[in-house]
Structure 1
Amino acid sequence: MAKRWLITGCSSGLGRALAARLAAEGEQVVATARRPEVLAELVEQGRGNLVAAGLDVRDQAQCEAAVELAVATFGGIDILVNNAAYGQFGAVEEVSDSELVAQFETNVFGPWRLTRAVLPMWRAQHSGHAIFVGSVAGLVPFPGLSAYNASKFALEGVAESLASEVAHLGVKVTLLQPGGFATSYSSSLVLPSQRIDDYAPIIGGTLSGVQGMNHAEAINSPELFADVVWRLSRMEKPPLRLPVGPDAEYFLSPAYAARLKEYDDVIEAGHHTLA
């Protein structure tokens, strides 16, 4: 039976590849982007299975309107994919308050408000699946991506908290942890208004790496991401966290191990007590 999807950030990259794959599989998709005109080709290829909507996840009214469109067009939503995001570059000292707030508005507050908008429907139908597109950067801190790291770390908390709140209602939650993908991420990277030369030796490599992601042959394709999400949607008991891409394990396994070792070392040394 076809599932009904609402997907954010479909103008390019992961969201676009996912929307195209789902429509081809006969799923019913509301694909969104801040500029819906860029989705015209997707709509044509969708052959009635896909409709487009303008959605800026920073706007509560637009979030509610997208949900209403999904209900009016397909009768509801089974799966929400919170994919829209961008990367704010800069060391902690370089990133201004306004730049930090903007980063969280899109990457954290947007998914929160859109999920909040679908939850009444899911509580009523005792089903639903919230998928959050996180990142290995939600566990691995990359120098120069302090604001982006912080937003993806926060998204981990949102997903895990939500999962504990809605499991008894039949609602599922999955946080995806993608590695590097050949997308337009580098073109959406925002540089800070202030640059401090002292940080260049530390964060310069991160900037070069991100800017080269579109051209790296070894980077995972968006179609791989779409395939993983498609298979995830067919699982009766989907995992809370799901690494995506062969390189995700390369980043995540040592990060988890390092945290556990640090914890064990602190406990063994007795630093956790005042005695």
Structure 2
Amino acid sequence: MTRRWLITGCSSGLGLALATAVAGAGDEVVATTRRPGALAALAAAHPGRVTEAVVDVRDAGQCRAAVDLAVERLGGVDVLVNNAGNGLFGAVEEVTDEELREQLEVLVVGPWRLARQVLPLMRAQGGGHIVNVSSLAGRMAFPGLAAYTAGKYALEGMSQALAAEARPFGIRVTVLEPGGFSTRYGTSLVEAATRIPAYADAVDPMMVQLRGMEHNGELNRPEDFAAQVLRAVAAEAVPLRLPVGEDAFGFLAFEQTAAAQELAAAREFARAAVPGPRP
């Protein structure tokens, strides 16, 4: 069975690896990039299987055009992968309203828009699969990544609601939660325009760690991410949330333990506020 994919953010990293794997598996893909011609080599390597579309997910018209192109060239969309993203680094006090809106436009509004645009197609064809690429930051917070974390938490909340809404139409939803991958995420991270020295000790170590991701041979490989996505799409059943990378499972297991401890402490605090029986 040949699947028709629409994948955003394919210039490099996870998106490029996935588009390459999809085409290599014999499927057809509209792969988006913000840089015209960035996918020429990929398209040349897989004639007739890869169509490049120039899309900034903040632009509603470009998103609509990409969906229309998929319908024109492929006849529809079986799998939408909302992968495009960027990162804003800054403590809460450092991030301005405008910077926050820009981050949420990319991480939440763009994926929501594209999901809304492909859902009528998927309902009409009796099924489909929407894959939203989240992060460990979609379930746990990291200093300096408050805006990014807010966006990924929102994406996961939207995905959970969408999964329930779309299930009756045969449409599946999967949230991918990658661990550490050797990509340009850290080097392309944008710092808030205003930095406050008082927060340096709290956030700077995280920045150093993120900046070193691209050439860290100990991290997961984008090709492994791509293979897992293809497995998830081909599987008859897959969990709503799917961590990717063994380190992701370790981090999330730690987070679940911490969350359970916090809930227990909150319960004890609440019980202490209830007056006992009077004599």
Q: What TM-score, normalized by structure 1, do the two folds share? A: 0.97
Aligned residue number for residue 91 of structure 1:
91
Deviations 1:231-271 (CA, angstroms, capped at 9, x unpaired): 11111122200000111012111112211221133224435
The answer to whether 1:11 aligns with 2:11 is: yes
**Offset at residue 124 of structure 1 (A):** 1.3
> What is aligned with 1:252?
252
> What do you get for the CA RMSD once the two structures are aligned?
1.3
Distance of 2:271 and 2:22 partners within structure 1: 51
Give SS of 2:26's match: coil
8 Å contact kept, 1:172–1:238 = no
1:104 aligns with 2:104: yes
What residue in structure 2 maps to residue 81 of structure 1?
A: 81
Residue matched to 1:263:
263
Give the secondary structure class of the aligned counterpart of 1:6: strand
Structure 1, unaligned runs of 5 or more:
none
**Separation in 1 of the partners of 2:49 and 2:3?**
11
Does the 8 Å CA contact 1:181/1:220 hold for their aligned counterparts? yes
Aligned mates of 1:198, 1:118 — CA distance in 2: 45
Which of 203-212 and 185-194 deviates more? 185-194
Query: SS at the partner of 1:57?
Result: coil
TM-score, normalised to structure 2, is 0.96
For the residues of structure 2 that align with 1:122 and 1:55, how far apart are their CA atoms? Answer: 21
Post-superposition Cα deviations, 1:92-136, rounded to whole Å, max 9, x if no partner, equal 001111110000000110000010000111111220100000000
CA displacement, residues 128-166 of structure 1 (integer Å, 9 cap, x when unaligned):
100000000111211011111111111110110111111
Going from structure 1 to structure 2, the CA distance change for 1:194 and 1:261 (only over 3 Å counts) comes to: same
Provide the rounded CA distance (Å) in 2 between the counterparts of 1:167 and 1:108: 21
1:266–1:272 contact (8 Å) kept in structure 2: no
Are 2:186 and 2:214, in contact at CA under 8 Å, matched by a contact in 1?
A: yes
Q: Larger Cα Rg: Structure 1 or Structure 2?
A: 2
Identify if the C-alpha distance between structure 1 residues 268 and 238 changes in structure 2 by more than 3 Å, giving closer, same or farther: same
| Counterpart position of 2:56 | 56
Aligned partners of 2:187 and 2:210 also within 8 Å: no
CA distance in structure 2 between the partners assigned to 1:61 and 1:40 by the alignment = 23
Q: Distance in 1 between matches of 2:259 and 2:143?
A: 18
Structure-2 change in CA distance of 1:77 and 1:268 (3 Å): same
Task: Confirm or deny: 8 A CA contact 2:187 2:212 kept in the other structure.
Answer: no
Identity, in percent, stands at: 51
Q: What 5-or-longer segments of structure 2 have no aligned partner?
A: none
Write the distance in 1 (CA, Å) between the matches of 2:96 and 2:269.
Answer: 38
Instruction: Specify the alignment match of 1:199 in structure 2.
Output: 199
Taking the aligned partners of 2:149 and 2:269, their CA distance within structure 1 comes to 29
One-letter amino acid matched to 2:193: S
CA distance in 1 between counterparts of 2:85 and 2:272 reads 37
Quote the residue 2:171 is aligned against: 171
Aligned partner of residue 80 in structure 2, secondary structure: strand
Q: How do 1:35-46 and structure 2 match up within 5 A?
A: 35-46=35-46
Say whether the 8 Å CA contact 2:4–2:78 is kept in structure 1.
yes
Counterpart position of 1:132: 132
SS at match of 1:174: strand
Instruction: Decide whether aligned partners of structure 1 residues 93 and 272 sit closer, same or farther in structure 2, where only a CA change above 3 A counts.
Output: farther
Pairs within 5 Å for 1:214-233: 214-233=214-233
Q: Is the 8 A contact 1:6 1:80 kept in 2?
A: yes
1:273 shift after superposition: 7.3
What do the CA deviations read for 1:20-48 (whole angstroms, capped 9, x no partner)? 01101101111001113111111111221
The number of residue pairs the alignment matches comes to 275
| 1:200-236 per-position Cα deviation (integer Å, ceiling 9, x unaligned) | 0110110000000012111111001001001111111
